[in-house]
Structure 1
Amino acid sequence: MRKALLVLSAIVLLSALAQLLFAGYFHFQNTIEAQREAGVYHVMNGQYVLRYGALLAAIVAAIARAGSRTIWLAAGIFLLSWVQLFIFIIGGMLTGSSEDFITPAGSWVAAIHPLTGVLIIFMSYWLFRRARAVALNPQPLPPKAASSDAPASPSTA
């Protein structure tokens, strides 16, 4: 399970880094129609690969007994991926912005999206580092197995 956690954390990290590539590809399109088509990569990767990869990483980290910090780190990435979505939904409702008309206040709220994206990238990096450390360290034996493997001491009676 520890190697599965390492693989999942690598997928989450690569997905988070791919989000930057997809955002750049989306941003530098010539027309609005091309932007909408290019934005699909960013949206689908963020909503499916990154989000559910982080959820699976949290579950696998719990099963692998990787530690509470590792579990919470993966869960935090999962939760932040939802924050990324709600920035637009709640921000649009509060500021009166829509996809076709963005108010100045809506632009300020939407500016939080790349900041939390950078936070997700850093958290993904730390999740990968923690998963790598967990995968490289051997698991300790349970107490019963450790005591039965030890040679019996000679009795002095």
Structure 2
Amino acid sequence: MRKALLVLSAIVLLSALAQLFFAGYFHFQNTIEAQREAGVYHAVNGQYVLRYSALLAAIVAAIAKVGSRTIWLAAGIFLLTWLQLIIFIVGGMLTGSSPEFITPAGSWVVAIHPIVGALMIFMSYWLFKRAQAAALNPQPLPPKAASSDASTSPSTA
């Protein structure tokens, strides 16, 4: 399971980095139509690939028993993908912004979106490093098995 967590955390990290690329690709389109088309990559990757690979990583981390910090790190990335969506929804509702008419206040609220995205990239990197360490280190024996191994080994006295 630890190797599966390593693979999933690599997918989460690559997906988070792809989000940054897709945002840039979206931003530097020439026309509104091309921009909307390019925005689909960013939206689909964030809404589906990143979100559910992070959720799956949290589940696998729990099964692999790699520690609560790693589990919460993966779950945190999953929750931040929902926050990214909520930023747009609440930002539009509170400020009267829409894709067709963006208010200055709406711009200020939605400016939180890339900051949360950067946080997710850093968290994805930390998740990958923790999964890498867990995959390289063998699992410790359960306490019962460890005590029976110590009692059966020959003494050197």
Shorter chain as normaliser: what TM range? over 0.9
Deviations 1:17-39 (A, max 9, x none): 00011011101000000000000
1:100 aligns with 2:100: yes
Matched, 1:68 2:68: yes
Per the alignment, residue 88 of structure 1 pairs with 88
SS in 1 for 2:141: coil
Q: CA deviation at 1:142?
A: 1.7
Q: Could you give the per-residue CA deviations for residues 19-67 of structure 1, whole angstroms, max 9, x where no partner exists?
A: 0110111010000000000000000000001000100000000110110
Q: Matches of 1:73 and 1:152 in 2, distance apart? A: 39
CA distance, structure 2, for counterparts of residue 133 and residue 101 of structure 1:
48
**Percentage identity across paired residues of the two chains:** 84
**Whole-Å Cα distance in 2 between the matches of residues 66 and 49 of structure 1?**
23
How does 1:2-151 map onto structure 2 within 5 Å? 2-150=2-150, 151=152
Distance, in Å, in 1 between the alignment partners of 2:135 and 2:153 is: 32
Q: State the AA in 1 paired with 2:10.
A: A
Q: Considering only aligned residues, what root-mean-square deviation do their CA atoms show, in Å?
A: 1.2
- Say if 1:152 and 1:136 are closer, same or farther in 2 by CA, change over 3 A: closer
2:85 alignment partner AA: L
- For structure 1, list consecutive stretches of 5 or more residues without a partner in the other structure: none
Specify the SS of the correspondent of 1:38. helix
Q: What is the Cα deviation at residue 101 of structure 1?
A: 0.3
Amino acid at match of 1:57: A
What amino acid sits opposite 2:100 in the alignment? D
Q: Which moved more, 1:137-146 or 1:40-49?
A: 137-146
CA–CA distance in structure 2, aligned partners of residues 152 and 56 of structure 1: 40
Offset of residue 141 of structure 1: 1.3
Per-residue CA distance 1:87-138 (angstroms, 9 max, x = gap): 0001100000011000000000010000000000000000000011111110
Letter in 1 for 2:122: F
Q: 1: CA distance between counterparts of 2:8 and 2:34?
A: 32
User: What secondary structure sits across from 2:100 in the alignment?
Assistant: coil
For structure 2, the residue ranges without an aligned partner over 5 or more in a row are: none
**What is the TM-score when the length of structure 1 is the normalising length?**
0.94
- 4+ residue segments displaced more than 6 Å: none
Shift of 1:140: 1.0
Distance 1:122 1:152 in 2: 45
Quickly say closer, same or farther: Cα 1:153–1:25, change in 2 above 3 A: closer
